[in-house]
A = this chain, B = another copy of it.
Amino acid sequence: MELWYTEKHSDNVGITLKASQSLFSGKSEYQQLDILDTVDFGRMMLLDGLVMVTERDEFVYHDMIVHPALFTHPDPKQVLVIGGGDGGSIREIVRHPGVELATLCEIDGLVVEKSVELLPSMASAIDGKHPRVKLHIDDGLAYIRDHQNSFDVILVDSTDPIGPAEGLFEEDFYRLVHSALKEDGIMVAQSESPFYHAEIQKNMYRNLRAVFPIVEMYQAFIPTYPSGLWSFAFASKRYHPVHDFDRSRATNRTFETRYYNEDLHLGAFMLPTFARENIRE
């Protein structure tokens, strides 16, 4: 038997990957979770039938949701991830020696459990043994409502704005994030594909600009995501990701990164014209 997984990025375009076996398939209270082993991209996690991460290209997503904010903020100590139950973001955060505590707030306990079991290269820091990591299985909105003025950086590592993550693209949510951040805090959120999701981006960035004084988009290339061009929203109370970026701190980082580097940090904010137009005020 040949097993091929095909994700439709629209009714008429898709990506197709050959799988060797299904490692898990089950339904949580929130969503359908599948973990497949693919021939070229290693293990792959799907939520409600959509690719979330693969072992081969997750380094791009996790480098890029974490390091631009953590190298822009001059001294991030308290970092919160909302979503991100695969653990890849937490793994990257704790590589920053100055971070005192990385907190994961994931609504779906099954995602964490199965990631620890089946995706150990991503979930290495959320197995309950890491001294600087705290884990909450909880609704992100409820959690930040109870934690005012608490975080230097909040990363919204969510699924698409359909299903459990819908509320994470709304202005009300961004107001809660703003309150949960310290006075010089930074939020980064995955913000879909500029090529396929112009309307979602327009809404999302309008909502962000209503709350944060500094809002920028940056890009990363993720082969298993729709179109390959993905984006992140950088929303900040004080620090600008380009003008306030201390390049030498990034250059002198104490760990290797396969995607992020001090030049790319700047280049990622230099957007194609059509992407820039999606978020024009």
Bound state CA distance, A223 and B15, in angstroms? Answer: 11
A227 at the interface (CB under 8 A from B): yes
In the complex, the answer to whether B261 meets A272 with C-beta atoms within 8 Å is: yes
The interface bits of chain A over 87-128 (1 if a CB of B lies within 8 angstroms of the residue's CB, else 0) are 000000000000000000000000000000000000000000
In the complex, the answer to whether A264 meets B258 with C-beta atoms within 8 Å is: no
Interchain residue pairs with CB less than 8 A apart (29): A6-B16, A11-B18, A11-B40, A12-B17, A12-B38, A13-B15, A13-B18, A13-B41, A14-B16, A15-B15, A195-B221, A219-B221, A221-B227, A221-B228, A221-B229, A227-B228, A228-B229, A256-B273, A257-B273, A258-B272, A258-B274, A259-B272, A259-B274, A260-B272, A261-B272, A263-B270, A263-B271, A267-B269, A268-B270
Q: Which of B12, B60, B268, B270 contacts A39 (CB 8 A)?
A: B12
Q: State the Cβ distance, A115 to closest chain B Cβ, in Å.
A: 23
Q: State the Cβ distance, A16 to closest chain B Cβ, in Å.
A: 5
Copies assembled: 2
Residues of A within 8 Å of B, CB-based: how many? 42
| Residue on B nearest A195 in the bound complex, by CB | B223
Q: Which 10 A-B pairs have the closest CB atoms?
A: A228-B228, A267-B270, A267-B267, A12-B18, A12-B39, A263-B270, A223-B227, A221-B229, A12-B40, A259-B272
List, in ascending order, chain B residues with CB within 8 A of A271's CB. 263-264, 267
A206 at the interface (CB under 8 A from B): no
Q: State the Cβ distance, A92 to closest chain B Cβ, in Å.
A: 14
A10 at the interface (CB under 8 A from B): yes
A175 at the interface (CB under 8 A from B): no
| Residue on B nearest A41 in the bound complex, by CB | B13
Q: State the Cβ distance, A54 to closest chain B Cβ, in Å.
A: 10
List, in ascending order, chain B residues with CB within 8 A of A11's CB. 18, 39-40
Which chain A residues (1-52) contact chain B, with CB distance < 8 Å?
Answer: 6, 10-18, 38-41
A209 at the interface (CB under 8 A from B): no
Bound state CA distance, A221 and B274, in angstroms? Answer: 12
The interface bits of chain A over 209-251 (1 if a CB of B lies within 8 angstroms of the residue's CB, else 0) are 0000000000101110001110000000000000000000000
List, in ascending order, chain B residues with CB within 8 A of A39's CB. 11-12
| Residue on B nearest A38 in the bound complex, by CB | B12
The interface bits of chain A over 173-208 (1 if a CB of B lies within 8 angstroms of the residue's CB, else 0) are 000000000000000000000010000000000000
List, in ascending order, chain B residues with CB within 8 A of A273's CB. 256-261, 264
